[in-house]
Amino acid sequence: MRIIFIIILCILPILLTGCWDQHLLVNRTLVNGISFDVTEEGKINGSVRALSIQSKGGGQFDIYDELVSAERPTPVGLALDIDSRIAGEIDTSKAFVVIIGEELAKKGIHPFIEIFYRNMNSYMSSKIIISKGKATEILSVEKEKSPIAFVILQLLNGTEADMVIPKETTFTVWKKMLDPGEDMILPYVERVESNKVEVAGVALVNDDQYTGITLSREKSSILMLLMDQLSKKNRMALTMGSEGKGRAISFATRDLRRNLEVLVDKDNKITCKIDVKMNVEVGSYTQDLSKRLNIKKLNKDLSDELTKQAKEITDILLQANCDALGIGRRISSFHPELWKKINWNEEYQNVQFEPNVKVNIIKTGNVF
Amino acid sequence: MMEKNISITKYQLFFFMIQSQTGLGLLSLPNVVQKTAKGDGWISTLIAGVAVQIMLVIYWQLLKRFPNLIYTEITQKILGRFLGKFLNLFIYLNFIFVGGLATILFIKIINLWLLPITPGWIISILILTACIYLTISDLRMIARFFVLATSLILLLLFTSFLSWFTPKEIQYILPIGSSGFKNILLGTNNSLLAMLGFEGLLFLFPFIIDNKKGVLKTISMANIFIATFYTFFVFLTLISFSSDQLAQMREPILNLLRGITYIMVDRVDLIFLSIWIVPMSTSIIAYLFLASKSMNVDKKNYPKVVLLNGFIIFSITLIPHNDAIITLFNKYVTYLSYAVVFIIPTLLLILSFLFKKHESSESA
């Protein structure tokens, strides 16, 4: 009896030695950036920037960065093509950035991101960005220096902290693409000086289609304020009055309170009141030294200027048909009857925005 | 009936109920509920909790009349030998099929998320071996293990708090009640399935120490815990995802965790799922135990019966894992469950009132 037991014990471990789901790091090619473009013939071009790790033996590894691309009529199967051109198994579990070309983004980005939701191994916190011109051009920056995706990632993290672009990842974009009551804005990057990547502002997206309209960096910071997104280390620069003789001021927002009210009157006319109250700290201000700084007046000037610009921005939002402030969601929650009646995509054009920004300077830094 | 290593305390009963109810159902619950109830899914789970509470009171009334008998003995007592045995066959089949279905879904989730290439039968063997091993050790051991395993449920609660840092939109559930009463009730119907497992009480009652009083309080507490727990998670997913998005997800709870990311730790969903394997197995253990008990065998033959049932469940898991077959299987098992869990006990209670039968009366 005892011997049989021991024999069984010896046989059992043999069954345990097999493992189907093992992934060795040396066999993998880690993709850290992906780009999608549409070619002139209307095909989809997908490129990846991948790190391939090769063992030199003795625990030493060689790391290469390579750019591989493939073309297909649809995004489906691009991964297979790319896989066959890369040594080792393709691994998108750490693809930090997904760049989508301007032209392609106008046709809709959902089919390209859907791949990431369905696949269990993919990374859900990648940054989704729209590029000016071809996305491949962004991805192919500094081919020798690797890996570019991390540079772009840091760039995005930095601008997020400066409150220029929203914190959007694959995960958060999913919700906004499918939600009819809210649209998203995505970071808009361009290649400058042939070898640098710059965040040019934000791209306005309607459902999942890029509208072709962008906001500059200065304007997108104000949009962030209207969207009630405050980051810790934000800074803003503003020119008041007409160009040339206007005064420039830069400030950091310390406290932000936004009140968004959606009103529907008897004729189903939708008015959106946005009240923003912010406490700011002056960073730099070229003042007339002969006069004492009149904070009251400065408060008023700043408020007026920001209100004016906010109005411009909401007009652009209407023009782009991009419901970045989630007005539709409010209507569907608080006026469900109206929501069922209207086609929001058309009705959004008729929304009346009334932004009002109130600035209160709480600190002026080291000098008065 | 009061054997030494088979009796459990009320405290252990509480955890037994919780463990047999939570597990697989939870992961996909928000998707199932929102199919009809949309943003009001959380009301559906609350109503389901009330429905379960009503059933528990019915069980309690029935069991009070037969404090030393289990479900399959009560059927024979009330309906006579022949009809009783016939019903018992259905009760047994229900537990075997539910156990089999639970294992199939378990394997499916593991295959989908953790081990895509590993063959299903290997996973099945690994799970069932552990389950059979524990079930053979009989009730007290199982109950002790369930108490331990409950700490993992608290871990899920903790992990869910991490997800509060991903964007939430309370407006997804507004306006409250917009789906209409009928749709909310349909959602209740779906969430009841995730709450199944409380029927275990029908088999545990005779083994509870001092089962004359306080049991109703214990099971009510367990039910309140489960209902709140489920409602919390449905609510959390409802405000995290829009309803179009939820409709696309198989396991919304795992997707909820998928969005959490830190510099050092990533893919919280996979870490969580590896731990959640234990609460998922406890449901299988509970059903294996109930199936074996429902065969009314004596203590000596119990281990053999558990082995046999384990093997039957294993055979069930060998049927092809394609979505259509599983959906069909799920549908029929659901009907069977409704009969065994809701209809038969209610009928038994009514009959026992009509014929004034209780344990001390002569056997028919």
Q: What is the pLDDT of residue B2?
A: 46
For A171, the token pair is: 């995960």
Cα–Cα dist B120/B126, whole Å: 10
Cα→Cα distances A294→A146, A270, A305, Å? 51, 38, 16
Longest dimension (CA), chain A: 105
In one letter, which amino acid is B328? Answer: L
pLDDT of B1 over the 50 cut: no
pLDDT of B88 over the 70 cut: yes
CB contacts of B267 in chain A (<8 Å) are 93
* Nearest beta carbon to residue A178 from set B171, B240, B242: B242
CB contacts of A89 in chain B (<8 Å) are none
What residues have CB less than 8 Å from B202, skipping those under 6 apart?
Answer: B59, B62, B63, B70, B71, B74, B345
Q: What is the pLDDT of residue A245?
A: 59
Cα–Cα dist B125/B127, whole Å: 6
- Look up residue A356 and give its DSSP letter: E
Whether B284 contacts B187, CB under 8 Å: no
Q: How far is B1 from chain A (nearest CA, A)?
A: 34
Judged by CB atoms closer than 8 Å, whether chains meet at B113 and A120 is answered as yes
Q: How far is A9 from chain B (nearest CA, A)?
A: 15
Q: pLDDT: is A146 or A50 the higher one? A: A50
Residues of A with CB under 8 A from a CB of B: 20-21, 93, 117, 120, 123-125, 169, 171-172, 174-175, 178-179, 326, 329-330, 332-334, 336
Whether A115 contacts A123, CB under 8 Å: no
* Nearest beta carbon to residue A125 from set B116, B169, B261: B261
From the list A159, A121, A184, the residue with the least C-alpha distance to A329 is A184
* Nearest beta carbon to residue A20 from set B115, B248, B258: B115
- The SS3 assignment for B2 reads coil
**Across all residues in chain A, what is the average pLDDT?**
82
Q: What is the pLDDT of residue B93?
A: 92
In degrees and rounded to multiples of 5, residue B129 shows phi and psi of -60, -45
- The SS3 assignment for B363 reads coil
Judged by CB atoms closer than 8 Å, whether chains meet at B171 and A20 is answered as no
Judged by CB atoms closer than 8 Å, whether chains meet at B259 and A171 is answered as yes
Judged by CB atoms closer than 8 Å, whether chains meet at A175 and B261 is answered as no
List, as one string, the DSSP characters of A203-249.
EEEETTEEEEEEEEHHHHHHHHHHTT---TT--EEEEESSTTT-EEE
Q: What is the pLDDT of residue A291?
A: 66
Q: What is the pLDDT of residue A168?
A: 85
Cα→Cα distances A361→A282, A284, A298, A357, Å? 7, 13, 8, 13
Q: Which residue of B has its CA nearest to A94?
A: B266
Q: What is the pLDDT of residue A298?
A: 81
A12 falls in which pLDDT band (50, 70, 90)?
Answer: confident
Return the CATH superfamily for domain B9-354. Amino acid/polyamine transporter I (1.20.1740.10)
Cα–Cα dist B244/A157, whole Å: 29
CB contacts of A169 in chain B (<8 Å) are 259, 261
Q: What is the pLDDT of residue B313?
A: 93
- Look up residue B360 and give its DSSP letter: T
For A56, the token pair is: 């030199």
* Nearest beta carbon to residue B241 from set A20, A93, A175: A175
pLDDT of B238 over the 70 cut: yes
From the list B217, B188, B196, the residue with the least C-alpha distance to B57 is B217
From the list B267, B289, B253, the residue with the least C-alpha distance to B145 is B289
CB contacts of B261 in chain A (<8 Å) are 124-125, 169
- Look up residue B125 and give its DSSP letter: H
A125 falls in which pLDDT band (50, 70, 90)?
Answer: confident
Q: How far is A181 from chain B (nearest CA, A)?
A: 10
pLDDT of B301 over the 80 cut: yes
The pLDDT of A202-217, averaged and rounded, is: 86
Judged by CB atoms closer than 8 Å, whether chains meet at A172 and B166 is answered as yes
Judged by CB atoms closer than 8 Å, whether chains meet at A175 and B245 is answered as yes
List, as one string, the DSSP characters of B304-359.
HHHHHHHHHHHHHHTS---HHHHHHHHHHHHHHHIIIIIIHHHHHHHHHHHTT--T
Measured over the CA atoms of residue B108, residue B259, residue A152 and residue A317, the dihedral's sign is positive
CA atoms within 13 A on the CB side of B335: 5
- Cis upstream peptide for A13 (omega within 30°): no
Instruction: Locate all alpha helices (DSSP H) within chain A, ordered by sequence.
Output: 2-16, 78-85, 102-105, 110-118, 135-139, 148-161, 170-178, 217-226, 295-320, 327-334, 336-341, 344-347
Q: How far is A165 from chain B (nearest CA, A)?
A: 16
Whether A282 contacts A365, CB under 8 Å: yes
For B352, the token pair is: 């026992």
For B332, the token pair is: 């029929």
CB contacts of A326 in chain B (<8 Å) are 171
* Nearest beta carbon to residue A124 from set B169, B245, B258: B258
In one letter, which amino acid is B106? Answer: F
CB contacts of A23 in chain B (<8 Å) are none
Q: How far is B150 from chain A (nearest CA, A)?
A: 28
A172 falls in which pLDDT band (50, 70, 90)?
Answer: confident
Q: Which residue of A has its CA nearest to B254?
A: A120
CB contacts of A333 in chain B (<8 Å) are 171, 174-175
pLDDT digits (tens, 9 = 90+) for A346-366: 888 888 888 888 888 887 777
Q: What is the pLDDT of residue A143?
A: 62
Chain A interface disruption, residue of B34, B258, B260, most A CBs within 10 A:
B258
pLDDT digits (tens, 9 = 90+) for A16-43: 656 777 777 777 778 888 888 888 888 8
Q: How far is A114 from chain B (nearest CA, A)?
A: 11
> Going by DSSP bridges, is the β-strand pair A185-192/A196-206 parallel, antiparallel, or unpaired?
antiparallel
Most confident of A234-243, B155-164, B275-284: B275-284
Percent of chain B with pLDDT over 90: 16
pLDDT digits (tens, 9 = 90+) for A219-277: 888 888 888 888 777 778 877 765 555 677 888 888 888 888 888 888 888 888 888 88
Q: Does B262 touch chain A (CB under 8 A)?
A: no
From the list B92, B327, B305, B98, the residue with the least C-alpha distance to B197 is B98
Q: Does B320 touch chain A (CB under 8 A)?
A: no
Percent of chain A with pLDDT over 90: 0
**Across all residues in chain B, what is the average pLDDT?**
85
Contacts 24+ apart (CB under 8 A), A174-178: A174/A113, A174/A117, A174/B245, A175/B167, A175/B169, A175/B240, A175/B241, A175/B242, A175/B245, A177/A109, A177/A110, A177/A113, A177/A207, A177/A208, A178/B242, A178/B244, A178/B245, A178/B248
Q: Does B113 touch chain A (CB under 8 A)?
A: yes
B315 falls in which pLDDT band (50, 70, 90)?
Answer: very high
CB contacts of B122 in chain A (<8 Å) are 20
Domain ranges of chain B: 9-354
For A202, the token pair is: 């934000």
Cα–Cα dist B279/B27, whole Å: 11
Q: pLDDT: is B153 or A245 the higher one? A: B153
Cα→Cα distances B83→A292, B75, B91, B341, B361, Å? 100, 8, 13, 18, 18
pLDDT of B180 over the 90 cut: no
Chain A interface disruption, residue of B114, B242, B244, B270, most A CBs within 10 A:
B242
* pTM (two decimals): 0.85
Cα–Cα dist A238/A305, whole Å: 9
Q: Does B242 touch chain A (CB under 8 A)?
A: yes
Q: What is the pLDDT of residue B53?
A: 92
Q: pLDDT: is A20 or A107 the higher one? A: A107
pLDDT digits (tens, 9 = 90+) for B190-214: 888 888 888 888 888 888 887 777 8
CB pairs < 8 Å spanning A and B: 56
* Nearest beta carbon to residue B115 from set A21, A124, A330: A21
Poorest-confidence range of A49-63, A103-117, B13-27, B318-332?
A49-63
Q: Does B119 touch chain A (CB under 8 A)?
A: yes
In degrees and rounded to multiples of 5, residue A146 shows phi and psi of -125, 160
pLDDT digits (tens, 9 = 90+) for B96-140: 999 998 999 899 888 888 888 888 888 898 899 999 999 988 788
Q: What is the pLDDT of residue A174?
A: 85
Whether B234 contacts B173, CB under 8 Å: no
Chain B interface disruption, residue of A172, A178, A334, A339, most B CBs within 10 A:
A178
CB contacts of B169 in chain A (<8 Å) are 175, 329
CB contacts of A93 in chain B (<8 Å) are 267
Element (H, E) at B56: helix B41-65
- ipTM metric: 0.80
